[in-house]
Chain A
Amino acid sequence: MASQGPRQDEIAPGWTIGTLFGLAVLSVAWAPFWGMESIPFGALWDKTDDSVAAYILWNLRIPRVLMAFLAGAGLAASGMVFQAMFRNPLATPFTLGVSSGASLGAAVAIQLGLNFAVWGVSSVAISAFVGAMTAIILVYALTTTSRQGSSTATMLLAGVAVSFFFSSLILFLQYMSDFTRSYQMLRWVMGGMQNIVGFQDVINVLVFVVAGCLIVWYLLMDLNLLTTGEDFAFTRGVNVGQAKTMLFFSVSMMVGAVVAVCGPIGFVGLMAPHICRLLIGADHRRLFPAAMLFGGTMLVVCDTIARLLLAPTELPVGILTALIGGPFFLWLLLTRRRDMGTI
């Protein structure tokens, strides 16, 4: 039962991260050439304007694969931070209401028929981002004004409550809207990268993910200490309140941006950090790069499968990740032993 000796340190973390990096590079390099339309490598250098292969490659496939990697990495990093902050493997931005907030925002934009764009960002995406941030601020406010103080349990409960409330609002909107809009909403809620054309969206999301990751990077040691308990972190010199607020909002921005463009893609943020924790241990200075690489690779692979599985139509990748994630969630619940830790 008790694990004797150096269990986690035995697997050299350098090798694990190196392997994950290799897999990430490989998947990102290969994925664009896979699909309905098989594309020769030569299309990469094809500068002629009327080459269909080059157009598909540069305007559809490559942006899409990059977006999938970025989204996967961002969601994995966010999941990692929330799992550590709440000392609970089931705590992810999605369980805390971010996805339902974003979905509600998107649903409202679709229902109102908003159709504009700012810096190449569509009205639906902007509205989804606003929805995600609203959910987060609501959860945060509910937690801090709660009489029990900002306990993590309160925050989880507030997240679940907000999540349910927003979900029922979405159902209400769907019920009130006509068939086309209802389908549009439903399609958005399933999540996917099918709308990515060109690099504009990729760049927009990249800015948020990089900014968020820099903050998380700065706070990796604080995260380590928060994993051991808030009182421990506090007495070791971590400004707990400030660190939690910074982490909370940086993560929410990352997730908000990803969800606004790709829709809610569940379970990546839950699975990637957890699997990586089993691989290389809970030290966030190693876990952070590992989880990002793993999450990115995972979503690139899932998205490629989603494109190929039902070709010529495609499966929304959110459905695929949920199909894998549901059983994983249960497995986590059933096999979680004490010596494996709550996180």
Chain B
Amino acid sequence: MRNLNTNIVLETRKFSCHIEGKPILREVSLQIRRGEYISIVGPNGAGKTTLLRAFDRMLVGEISGELDICGMPWQDWKQSDLAKLAALVPQADSRVIPFTVEQFLLMCRYPYMNPFASVNPNDRKVVHEAMVGTGTTPFARRRLDTLSSGERQKVYIAAALAQGAHIWLLDEPTTFLDYHHQDDILSLVALANKEFDVTVVAVTHDLNRAALESDRIIALREGELAFYGTPDLIMKPDVLKRIYGTAMLLVDHPRSGMPMIVPRMTPEQDKELAKWRAKARDKMK
């Protein structure tokens, strides 16, 4: 395949997207390097998912500006070549998929298969490895729509693995998952990133996780690139206030030292606490 050895895998220059005249992305210019772990954050409706899907060429509305995928303009890619390179990992939604996990993963070998040939042993081997790697072997023969969200999200990740993609585009991979499954999914992604040099781009609302996992963070606000840099530079009250328009309380992480957002108290709770403290002081006297 062409251009795989370029260092910059995704690049936009003044990339804009309008849907029915309404701007969704405004002149976004950025570069993502090979093997980076990037998180896209920002308030609701800031254009995060639109940007993520654009990286897989799922473009909607009127597009202007440029987008290069592995050094080649997005228009020039053949769909099946792009699939060998990039995979979108959607949210574990409740869509009906009438296939077993194994059938589904074999379908992910689509870009390598001939329409008239049957599945070859190599495809089976790759799918088997993807299942072992993601811990999805126990439910290989169950239908996808009978799995829990956590299990299904693992299968979606196994799909990106089976597809042999070097760029994983994750759309809120942990949003609906419990803590245990969140850890599972994020360690799978981190492993792929470290061990197989997979470039990860993940849309998320969980800034704390993003700050701990990512090499760099992209923040969008009203379709504009509001911040692009390392986590320690975004986890500051003034920067966060500028992006989200709300004040944040930050506390250093006990292990890594990275500032983490903790929930603020309501003004009423604050007053209660002040009263309680005053009382305690009186008693001391």
Known: A231-B58, A236-B83. A221 touches B145 (CB 8 A): no
A9: interface (CB < 8 Å): yes
Across the interface, which residues of B come within 8 angstroms of A239, CB to CB? 79-80
Q: In the complex, A227 Cα to B83 Cα: how many Å?
A: 18
Q: Which of A5, A234, A237 has the most CB of B within 10 A?
A: A237
B268: interface (CB < 8 Å): no
Q: In the complex, A231 Cα to B213 Cα: how many Å?
A: 27
A56: interface (CB < 8 Å): no
B274: interface (CB < 8 Å): no
B135: interface (CB < 8 Å): no
A229: interface (CB < 8 Å): yes
Across the interface, which residues of B come within 8 angstroms of A341, CB to CB? 96-98, 145
A23: interface (CB < 8 Å): no
B36: interface (CB < 8 Å): no
- Which residue of chain B lies nearest to A342 when distances are taken between CB atoms in the complex? B96
Q: In the complex, A228 Cα to B103 Cα: how many Å?
A: 11
Cross-chain contact A9 with B141 (CB below 8 angstroms) = yes
Q: In the complex, A236 Cα to B97 Cα: how many Å?
A: 15
A220: interface (CB < 8 Å): yes
A343: interface (CB < 8 Å): yes
Cross-chain contact A283 with B84 (CB below 8 angstroms) = no
Q: Which of A3, A231, A277 has the most CB of B within 10 A?
A: A231
Cross-chain contact A236 with B163 (CB below 8 angstroms) = yes
Known: A147-B20, A235-B56, A283-B103. A221 touches B113 (CB 8 A): yes
B82: interface (CB < 8 Å): yes
A198: interface (CB < 8 Å): no
B115: interface (CB < 8 Å): yes
Smallest Cβ distance from B96 to chain A, in angstroms?
5
Q: In the complex, A17 Cα to B84 Cα: how many Å?
A: 34
Known: A231-B88, A237-B80. A3 touches B110 (CB 8 A): no
Known: A5-B141, A228-B99, A229-B95. A221 touches B107 (CB 8 A): yes
Across the interface, which residues of B come within 8 angstroms of A165, CB to CB? none
| Binary B-proximity of A272-288 (CB < 8 A = 1, otherwise 0) | 00000100011100000
B90: interface (CB < 8 Å): yes
| Binary A-proximity of B99-112 (CB < 8 A = 1, otherwise 0) | 11001100110110
Smallest Cβ distance from A251 to chain B, in angstroms?
17
Cross-chain contact A235 with B83 (CB below 8 angstroms) = yes
**Residues of A304-343 contacting chain B, CB below 8 A:** 338-339, 341-343
B6: interface (CB < 8 Å): no
Smallest Cβ distance from B178 to chain A, in angstroms?
19
Cross-chain contact B145 with A236 (CB below 8 angstroms) = no
Across the interface, which residues of B come within 8 angstroms of A3, CB to CB? 142-143, 146
Cross-chain contact of B115 among A218, A227, A228, A343 (Cβ < 8 A) = A218
B132: interface (CB < 8 Å): no
Across the interface, which residues of B come within 8 angstroms of A227, CB to CB? 97-99
| Binary A-proximity of B132-173 (CB < 8 A = 1, otherwise 0) | 000000000111011000000000000100010000000000
Known: A234-B58, A238-B110, A239-B79. A220 touches B115 (CB 8 A): yes
- Which residue of chain A lies nearest to B80 when distances are taken between CB atoms in the complex? A237
A113: interface (CB < 8 Å): no
Smallest Cβ distance from A201 to chain B, in angstroms?
31
Known: A228-B107, A235-B83. A282 touches B95 (CB 8 A): no
Across the interface, which residues of B come within 8 angstroms of A168, CB to CB? none
B87: interface (CB < 8 Å): yes
Across the interface, which residues of B come within 8 angstroms of A217, CB to CB? 115-116
Smallest Cβ distance from A85 to chain B, in angstroms?
14
Smallest Cβ distance from A283 to chain B, in angstroms?
6
B60: interface (CB < 8 Å): yes
Known: A234-B79, A237-B79. A221 touches B110 (CB 8 A): yes
Across the interface, which residues of B come within 8 angstroms of A232, CB to CB? 90
Across the interface, which residues of B come within 8 angstroms of A236, CB to CB? 83, 87, 107-108, 110-111, 159, 163
Cross-chain contact A339 with B143 (CB below 8 angstroms) = yes
Q: In the complex, A221 Cα to B10 Cα: how many Å?
A: 29
Cross-chain contact B96 with A7 (CB below 8 angstroms) = no
| Shortest 8 CB-CB contacts between residues of A and residues of B | A237-B83, A237-B111, A282-B98, A237-B80, A235-B88, A341-B98, A2-B146, A6-B141
Chosen A-B contacts, 18 in total, with CB atoms closer than 8 Å, are: A2-B146, A3-B143, A5-B141, A5-B142, A6-B100, A6-B142, A87-B96, A225-B110, A228-B107, A234-B57, A236-B108, A236-B163, A238-B110, A283-B99, A338-B96, A341-B96, A341-B98, A343-B98
Sample of 18 further A-B pairs with CB below 8 A, known A228-B97, A234-B88, A238-B79: A2-B146, A3-B143, A6-B141, A149-B60, A217-B116, A218-B115, A221-B110, A221-B115, A231-B88, A231-B90, A232-B90, A234-B57, A235-B58, A239-B80, A281-B98, A283-B103, A338-B145, A341-B96
